Chain A
Amino acid sequence: MNEYTLNVRKKTFKRESVLGFIFISPWIAGFLIFTLFPVLYSLYLSFTMTGEGGNLKWIGFDNYLRAFGERDFWLSVKNTLILSGIGIPIAQIMALMAAILLNIRMKYQGLFRTIFFLPSVVPAVATGLLWKWILNPRLGPINGFLEELGIAGPGWLMDPAWVKPSLILMSFWGIGGTMVIYLAGLQNIPDELYEAAELDGANSWHRLKSITLPMLRPVTLFNTIMGIITSFQSFTQVIIMLDMDGGIEKSGLVYGLYIYTNAFRDFKMGYASALSWVLLIITAISIAITMKFFKDRDN
């Protein structure tokens, strides 16, 4: 490589970098103006506690150390990891399957897709109350149906052992949103690829494995990462279906709920802030692990 080429490369790099920054500058500006302060302030809060008269007392890592000694902290971490660890993979697979199914040209395709999407549009309060009734061990239709079959239905939300399965079951109803994103992803896969594969004699399963899934990788990654981020923080459904303590034996006490009650019910903003930063770290680690998993599968 001669000096001339090197200079040209440096120049293009410089130009590209500048342009890149210009294009992302709206976000950077927004970050600096609107996001940086709340983020740093919550970090600062995590090292304080509010005393008499509203004075903030610096207490160092006390909030963090305290969390590690709290029974409810570990319980909420465990509950959240279990719910997410089981719920997310299943939801992703279901959403993908639904997207593939509803991508097939058929009559009323639009209608079917809309019906699948409907639950995501219904407000959380209505959904929660609805499912509370559906899963009602005595009056709900599910146990009613099981009874017809001669099976004694479980206690669902009233039985600590069944609370998590109930929550996971309920989350499946909301896969319509994820499905729509997969649908969008499927649109970008050129038909020619499939036609070529068919000509080569590939069957449906093979086409799925070697064309659809790899081409959907960026979308799958998006859905999984967003799934992790949102499910780690969610808690409103739990409040509606159970209560503010996470139900019987706190079986539904999720991390998001733990933060919420500490912040607003117990007025412990400093502690809640520390919990939030711990969540950030846990989320980042989980995502890093997930991305590694994706990369390995890539190879």
Chain B
Amino acid sequence: MFKKSIALILMILLCTMAFSKKEIVFWNAWGGDEGKVLEEMIEEYNSLQDEVVVRSVFAPIGMGEKIMATLSGSTVPDVITVWDWMVVPLGFRGQVLPLNEMLEKSGIDEDYYINGVWDYGFYEGKKYGLPTTLNVSAFMWNKGAFEEVGLDPDTPPKNIEELDEYTEKLMKYRKNGKLKRLGFDPVISHIYCYVFGGKLWDPETGEITANDTGNIKAYEWLASYYEKYDVKAKRIFQAGWGDVFSPLNPFLRGEVAMKEGSQWEILVAQKFAKPNFDYGISYFPAPEGGREDVCNVSGSFWVIPSASKNQKVAFEFMKWLTAPRQSAHFAAALYNIPPVKDALNDPEFTKIVDEKMQVYIDLLTDGYVYTFPMLPIGQTYLSEMTQALADVQSGNKSAKEALDYVQQRITEELSKY
């Protein structure tokens, strides 16, 4: 009897020891096939080491409802996926951990990441998360359309003047006066702020520079563009544009000749473009005195909640996830670009790199990389800038007035913190 109880106790002890692997919870924001890729990677990690079992939970980000709710409670996951603009507000409010110390201990610093990407996620000296993969914007042009109007199909516009000139040439109308092809369609207006030599903030000091002269010039240029071409007609024309990821993609159908495009649109063209469709990718054309290599970067982040009870092991897992091979593998699955330098050469990633993708990579590694300022006020700055542009376009305010207003508003907002 006695021996039996000892045996039982020993067995129970052994069992609990076997199950004493720490479990950390990872919020996987990806569904479908992409989510599966990540889950496979997690399985791999679990089999590679004995210290930790990572449990993946499907957690779409949306607007952060689930994230904000959970972080207000006591049971939090250990690694969460969030949009880039959420990182600083969460970090500033103390809800996610600053990673500086752990990064330093691991020897990860600026050199680990592609040039310019290290600043991504910083605010007032604290880095609150690690980027998962990057989305990069570049300039695309329809070679066939260029040929049609007598332009050299292999030469994109070199500067703003040529851009304006080409736009004029490429505008095409139907017999009934309706638009058939838009010459150029600027959407991400802040790219042009940087192209014209302006900037949205000073990442070093954190100072807001909404009314930087370069920004004002950019807005004036954008507004003039809409003045020249009927905004209303353009909107209606654009309403007929299909989804980007579909054969109705306006660029592929020749409905817009020049536009901004992200790297994953290469995939779109591969899938849906007609066989004789040819297009090119290049840097954004700039005015005299502007920047010729503007590279806009955006993406999602992995962060560690401050209330996590497994911070160190969570960080180790995050480190593995963002290591070159894993980073390359995951980015390739999403048709995004890995943020980590060595990942660029990893065969997991290079297998999706063709000459078009290479342009994006070059832009990223050699260009002027900027991300929209990450501030504690979330996307307020972006929505103010969008409103400002709308005001300028409608003629309610001049570019200077509109941007002065944004400057004043945002500095005021930030001062409250």
Interface of A toward B, CB cutoff 8 Å: 49-54, 136-139, 155-159, 245, 248-249, 260-261, 264-268
Closest Cβ–Cβ distance, residue A76 to chain B (whole Å): 14
Q: Is B239 an interface residue (CB 8 A)?
A: yes
Q: Is B240 an interface residue (CB 8 A)?
A: yes
Task: Given A245-B386, A265-B383, check contact A260 B236 (CB 8 Å).
Answer: no
Q: Collect the chain B residues with CB atoms within 8 Å of residue A267's CB.
A: 89, 93, 376-378
Closest Cβ–Cβ distance, residue B400 to chain A (whole Å): 19
Q: Collect the chain B residues with CB atoms within 8 Å of residue A54's CB.
A: 93-95
Cross-chain contact of A137 among B95, B236, B416 (Cβ < 8 A): B236
Do the beta carbons of B379 and A158 come within 8 Å of each other? no
Closest Cβ–Cβ distance, residue A51 to chain B (whole Å): 6
Q: Is B358 an interface residue (CB 8 A)?
A: no
Do the beta carbons of A264 and B240 come within 8 Å of each other? no
Q: In this complex, what residue of A is CB-closest to B386? A: A245
Q: When chains A and B are docked, how far (Å) is the Cα of A156 from the Cα of B236?
A: 9
Q: Collect the chain B residues with CB atoms within 8 Å of residue A264's CB.
A: 63-65, 68, 378
Interface of B toward A, CB cutoff 8 Å: 63-65, 68, 89, 92-95, 232, 235-240, 242, 376-380, 383, 386-387, 390, 394, 416-417
Task: Given A267-B376, A267-B377, check contact A157 B386 (CB 8 Å).
Answer: no
Name, among B92, B239, B383, the residue most crowded by chain A CB atoms within 10 Å (CB to CB): B239
Q: Collect the chain B residues with CB atoms within 8 Å of residue A159's CB.
A: 232, 235-236
Q: When chains A and B are docked, how far (Å) is the Cα of A54 from the Cα of B390?
A: 34
Q: Collect the chain A residues with CB atoms within 8 Å of residue B239's CB.
A: 136-138, 155-158
Query: What are 30 inter-chain pairs, A to B, with CB distance below 8 A?
Result: A49-B416, A52-B93, A53-B92, A53-B94, A54-B94, A54-B95, A137-B239, A138-B236, A138-B237, A138-B240, A155-B235, A155-B236, A155-B239, A156-B239, A157-B239, A158-B239, A159-B232, A159-B235, A159-B236, A245-B383, A245-B387, A249-B390, A249-B394, A264-B64, A264-B68, A264-B378, A265-B63, A265-B378, A266-B378, A267-B377
Q: When chains A and B are docked, how far (Å) is the Cα of A158 from the Cα of B235?
A: 6
Q: When chains A and B are docked, how far (Å) is the Cα of A50 from the Cα of B239?
A: 40
Q: When chains A and B are docked, how far (Å) is the Cα of A33 from the Cα of B416?
A: 35
Q: In this complex, what residue of B is CB-closest to A153? A: B236
Q: When chains A and B are docked, how far (Å) is the Cα of A260 from the Cα of B242?
A: 28
Do the beta carbons of B94 and A265 come within 8 Å of each other? no
Q: When chains A and B are docked, how far (Å) is the Cα of A37 from the Cα of B277?
A: 61
Cross-chain contact of A139 among B240, B376, B416 (Cβ < 8 A): B240
Q: When chains A and B are docked, how far (Å) is the Cα of A156 from the Cα of B238?
A: 13
Q: Collect the chain A residues with CB atoms within 8 Å of residue B93's CB.
A: 50, 52-54, 267
Q: Collect the chain B residues with CB atoms within 8 Å of residue A245's CB.
A: 383, 386-387
Q: A158-B235, A266-B378 are in contact. List 4 more A-B contacts (CB 8 A).
A: A138-B236, A261-B383, A265-B383, A266-B377
Do the beta carbons of A52 and B63 come within 8 Å of each other? no
Closest Cβ–Cβ distance, residue A50 to chain B (whole Å): 6
Q: Collect the chain A residues with CB atoms within 8 Å of residue B387's CB.
A: 245
Name, among B89, B236, B394, the residue most crowded by chain A CB atoms within 10 Å (CB to CB): B236
Q: In this complex, what residue of A is CB-closest to B67? A: A264
Name, among A155, A248, A264, A267, the residue most crowded by chain B CB atoms within 10 Å (CB to CB): A267
Do the beta carbons of A158 and B238 come within 8 Å of each other? yes
Q: Collect the chain B residues with CB atoms within 8 Å of residue A248's CB.
A: 235
Q: When chains A and B are docked, how far (Å) is the Cα of A264 from the Cα of B67?
A: 10
Q: In this complex, what residue of B is CB-closest to A138? A: B240
Q: When chains A and B are docked, how far (Å) is the Cα of A88 from the Cα of B174?
A: 42
Q: When chains A and B are docked, how far (Å) is the Cα of A158 from the Cα of B64?
A: 28
Q: Collect the chain B residues with CB atoms within 8 Å of residue A265's CB.
A: 63, 378-380, 383
Q: Collect the chain B residues with CB atoms within 8 Å of residue A158's CB.
A: 235-236, 238-239
The 9 closest A-B pairs by CB, nearest first: A138-B240, A264-B63, A54-B93, A158-B239, A53-B94, A267-B378, A267-B89, A54-B94, A266-B380
